[in-house]
Structure 1
Amino acid sequence: MRILLVHQNFPGQFLHLAPALAARGHEVLALTDEKNNRPSPVRVMRYASPGEVTLSSPFARTYAEHAERGFLTARGCRAMRDRHGYTPDLIFGHSGWGETLFLREIWPEAKLLVYAELLYRTRGHDVGFDPEVSPGTDEGRFMTIARSAHLIQGLVQADAAISPTRYQADSFPPELRSKITVIHDGIDTGKVRPDPGATLTLPNGHVLRAGDEVLSFVNRSLEPYRGFHVFMRALPEVLASRPNAQVVLVGGDGVSYGAKPKDADSWKAKMLAEVGERLDLSRVHFLGRVPYDQYLSLLQVARVHCYLTYPFVLSWSLTEAMAAGASVVASDTEPVRELIRDGENGRLFPFFDREALTAALIRGLAGDPEAARLTAAARQTILDGYDLETQSLPRLIEWVESFGPRV
């Protein structure tokens, strides 16, 4: 087949799928934003980056921004069609930024597939989950509906879709859920694995080794959506109880999903102002965003990995921590329960229960007698259902090829 992959930050979720499809003889081309300079495993075309969309109504602005990106993507595709005679058999794009909205009109005969990551919902998900940060107001629910419009339209336009977890697929209503197949992106368990010889050198020169009393916390951004405020409030007691523990946090100071605090420059600054005086900051290490190999080394040296999330998109860091052999303490929220079963392959605690979190972290750092069993079971969970080479990638290839011509 002639396959067009569309993603504003390509390769994104297509990192492994794109070269695998090309290796099977398909003609694979990627289309991405002109400002995206990430290395690509296949040939890339680019569309013009959207400019600023100015509208007085915040409810209309989100859809307008995504529709504008969709228009620029479609305009680029029209040039590919009219100037270069390019016509794909299949288009597979991420629906999150509106890029696929109008592609059906450019190539009406092509199969259109989308990566349906999550549908924002007004109740039962992130909206109103954390009253301290985002109370469930009418206006907040109105905004959620407005932010969902392009996602619904993108799935309506598509022939079929995938989501990485059941929780994320089930965020869509039943009439659209029937279009979605659940296939996780996949974890490279050959690379992401326990390593008793792993080390991590901190900025101060201190070297952490596998087996040391290390607590890891990883997110793209340190923010409440991923429970940063809950984690920080547990640290004073954890550090007081475990005088040899080292805490390593990876993540940027901005926000990826929520909003900045109103009374501080960042959530890191806000939480340090709240609990910093009660912390031994010589043992709390903020690394910011780090290269992948350094991040992986952290997971491999960590005795305990703490993961929290609102009911929202599941982070790769959880699945990779499980594969790397860290003992996971995680929030008992719906997306986490899809992978972690309390006492079987990890420890769960109620998201807002600081005392339960503190106790679980102390127990893990002290040397949970069941840690070996839990970590082995956690890795087996990934091997059985989320392994890139044996599970996810073969299923993704089979799913994409099922929309090709019958031979």
Structure 2
Amino acid sequence: MNILLLHPSFPGQYLHLAPYLAQNPENKVVFLAKDNSIKTNFKNVQLGLYKQPSEKAENWVKTCGPLMPAAEAVIDGQQIVRSLNWLKREQNFEPDVIIGHTGWGSTLYVKDVYPDVPLMGYFEWYYHALHGDSFWWPDEIPTIENKISIRTRNAHHLLNLVECDAGVTPTQWQFSQFPKEFQPKLSVIHEGIDTEFCRPAEKRPGLKLDDLKIDLPEGTEIITYVARGFEVYRGFPYFMDAIREVLGRRPNTHVIIVGDDRICYGAKLVGTTYRKEEEKKGGYDTKRVHFTGLRNRGDYRKILQASSCHVYLTRPFVLSWSFLEAMSFQCPIVGSKTPPVQEVMEDGVNGLLAEFRSPHHIARRIEELLDDRELAQRLGKAARETILEKFELRKCLRKQEDLMYSLVK
């Protein structure tokens, strides 16, 4: 079978699916992307990179106001059309099925090139002015300009929902955001968690990262936090306020923060970052709060295996892989009392929930786990059991594969 995968940043959500499909000798797998985020490739996956948009196109996008996301999707979709025609003409490749992320326009026009080829879309998020990620709490009130902008962000998502033959979305929370008219097209199937890689050590170790001169012996209390960027969407300011409380009471506790000082989700700050803002608030103990930057997978595993308490906070938005991986590592976790977390974590059963915007409550729940190691061990074990039952990689890959086969004539 000829399988075409589409995602602007290789491999994206197809990190596991692409090599899984390619290991089947019956399949030929081609992947089109704008860039290669991991700087390597998978065995038997033919990767093609299409051109970045021209400066003229990028300047046009900037004039589009609320339609900017749709304009960017149009440009990306046009680049994919050119690439599909090139594959057909130069590589003699025609897909039997197309699987693609719908968020940036990659799948927007594939049905205009291949109207009879089934399209299986990955649908990550549908925007709402109320009761979603942007304005969730009662004191958050959108302006009419906010409402117009947020509604318009869904333009290309709606086109994709109309054209796809079937869609996948990773959680029930994300599924619930999509219009009821289109929900029958969608299946809730997560990408899957590699529970073999993300497994606990036999005994919680210390942590040594030579390049950062971090050498914490076995038995050290280590609080961990992981995010691609430091932003309000993932609760970074609240976490920093919470650990100031905790460290003030626990002189031997250390904090490991993995991520970049940037904003991936939500409004951008002008002339500053959230980490820089923490300096203005009084800073933090630089001898015990360690910012590691983004780490390779081996270091990431060492960090989470050494965690005494992992903290994951998010607005009501897309659920992070890092949260589920922390559960798979059997970390005792404090998670935000928000719908994406509550779908997976039950308070007192496989983790502890805290108010997203209350540093005091976050700090208190962290200390509950640090003070009661029997509780921490029980919750961590239950967290891993949840992942093995509901998110184990091979189970999720087979569900995606079954859906793909159901579409092919």
TM-score (norm 1): 0.93
Secondary structure at 1:402's aligned position in 2?
A: helix
Q: CA offset at residue 375 of structure 1? A: 0.7
> In the alignment, what sits opposite 1:48?
51
Decide which moves more: 81-90 or 154-163: 81-90
Query: What is the CA–CA distance in structure 1 between the aligned matches of 2:218 and 2:98, rounded to whole Å?
Result: 44
Decide which moves more: 66-75 or 207-216: 207-216
Q: Could you list the per-position Cα deviations for residues 7-46 of structure 1 after superposition, in whole angstroms to 9, with x for gaps in the alignment?
A: 1112121122122222222111111115667322111122
Contact 1:216 1:304 (8 Å CA) reproduced: yes
Decide which moves more: 192-201 or 368-377: 192-201
When residues 8 and 199 of structure 1 are mapped into structure 2, their CA distance, relative to the original with a 3 A threshold, is farther
> In the alignment, what sits opposite 2:237?
229
Q: CA offset at residue 210 of structure 1? A: 5.4
Secondary structure at 1:223's aligned position in 2?
A: coil
> In the alignment, what sits opposite 1:28?
29
1:298 partner letter: I
When residues 131 and 254 of structure 1 are mapped into structure 2, their CA distance, relative to the original with a 3 A threshold, is farther
2:221 partner letter: E
From 375, 385, 399, the equivalent of 2:403 is: 399
Q: CA offset at residue 204 of structure 1? A: 4.8
Matched, 1:3 2:3: yes
Query: What is the CA–CA distance in structure 2 between the aligned matches of 1:28 and 1:204, rounded to whole Å?
Result: 40
Query: What is the CA–CA distance in structure 1 between the aligned matches of 2:35 and 2:329, rounded to whole Å?
Result: 35
When residues 234 and 275 of structure 1 are mapped into structure 2, their CA distance, relative to the original with a 3 A threshold, is farther
Q: CA offset at residue 81 of structure 1? A: 2.1
Query: What is the CA–CA distance in structure 2 between the aligned matches of 1:8 and 1:208, rounded to whole Å?
Result: 39
Matched, 1:61 2:90: no
Contact 2:11 2:36 (8 Å CA) reproduced: no
Decide which moves more: 306-315 or 203-212: 203-212
Query: What is the CA–CA distance in structure 2 between the aligned matches of 1:58 and 1:123, rounded to whole Å?
Result: 21
CA-based RMSD = 1.9
Identity of aligned residues (%): 37
> In the alignment, what sits opposite 1:347?
352
> In the alignment, what sits opposite 1:166?
172
Contact 1:221 1:256 (8 Å CA) reproduced: yes
Decide which moves more: 323-332 or 264-273: 264-273
Q: CA offset at residue 131 of structure 1? A: 8.8
1:242-281 equivalences in 2 (<5 Å): 242-262=250-270, 264-276=271-283, 279-281=284-286
> In the alignment, what sits opposite 1:378?
383
Secondary structure at 1:178's aligned position in 2?
A: helix
Contact 1:200 1:294 (8 Å CA) reproduced: no
Query: What is the CA–CA distance in structure 1 between the aligned matches of 2:218 and 2:155, rounded to whole Å?
Result: 47
Contact 2:345 2:351 (8 Å CA) reproduced: yes
Secondary structure at 2:263's aligned position in 1?
A: coil
Query: What is the CA–CA distance in structure 2 between the aligned matches of 1:123 and 1:39, rounded to whole Å?
Result: 41
Q: Could you list the per-position Cα deviations for residues 313-360 of structure 1 after superposition, in whole angstroms to 9, with x for gaps in the alignment?
A: 000111010010110001000000111000000000121122211111
Q: CA offset at residue 199 of structure 1? A: 4.3
From 208, 215, 220, the equivalent of 1:207 is: 215
Number of residue pairs matched by the alignment: 400
Decide which moves more: 371-380 or 6-15: 6-15
Q: Could you list the per-position Cα deviations for residues 240-295 of structure 1 after superposition, in whole angstroms to 9, with x for gaps in the alignment?
A: 11111001111111111112334x5111101221131xx32211111111112111
Decide which moves more: 267-276 or 31-40: 31-40
When residues 30 and 57 of structure 1 are mapped into structure 2, their CA distance, relative to the original with a 3 A threshold, is closer
Contact 2:327 2:383 (8 Å CA) reproduced: yes
Contact 1:241 1:362 (8 Å CA) reproduced: no
When residues 217 and 182 of structure 1 are mapped into structure 2, their CA distance, relative to the original with a 3 A threshold, is same
> In the alignment, what sits opposite 1:337?
342
Matched, 1:74 2:93: no
Contact 1:345 1:376 (8 Å CA) reproduced: yes
Query: What is the CA–CA distance in structure 1 between the aligned matches of 2:17 and 2:217, rounded to whole Å?
Result: 34
When residues 257 and 204 of structure 1 are mapped into structure 2, their CA distance, relative to the original with a 3 A threshold, is closer
1:86-105 equivalences in 2 (<5 Å): 86-105=93-112
Decide which moves more: 380-389 or 85-94: 85-94
Query: What is the CA–CA distance in structure 2 between the aligned matches of 1:399 and 1:199, rounded to whole Å?
Result: 43
When residues 265 and 175 of structure 1 are mapped into structure 2, their CA distance, relative to the original with a 3 A threshold, is same
TM-score (norm 2): 0.93
> In the alignment, what sits opposite 1:138?
144
Query: What is the CA–CA distance in structure 2 between the aligned matches of 1:59 and 1:10, rounded to whole Å?
Result: 27
1:160 partner letter: A
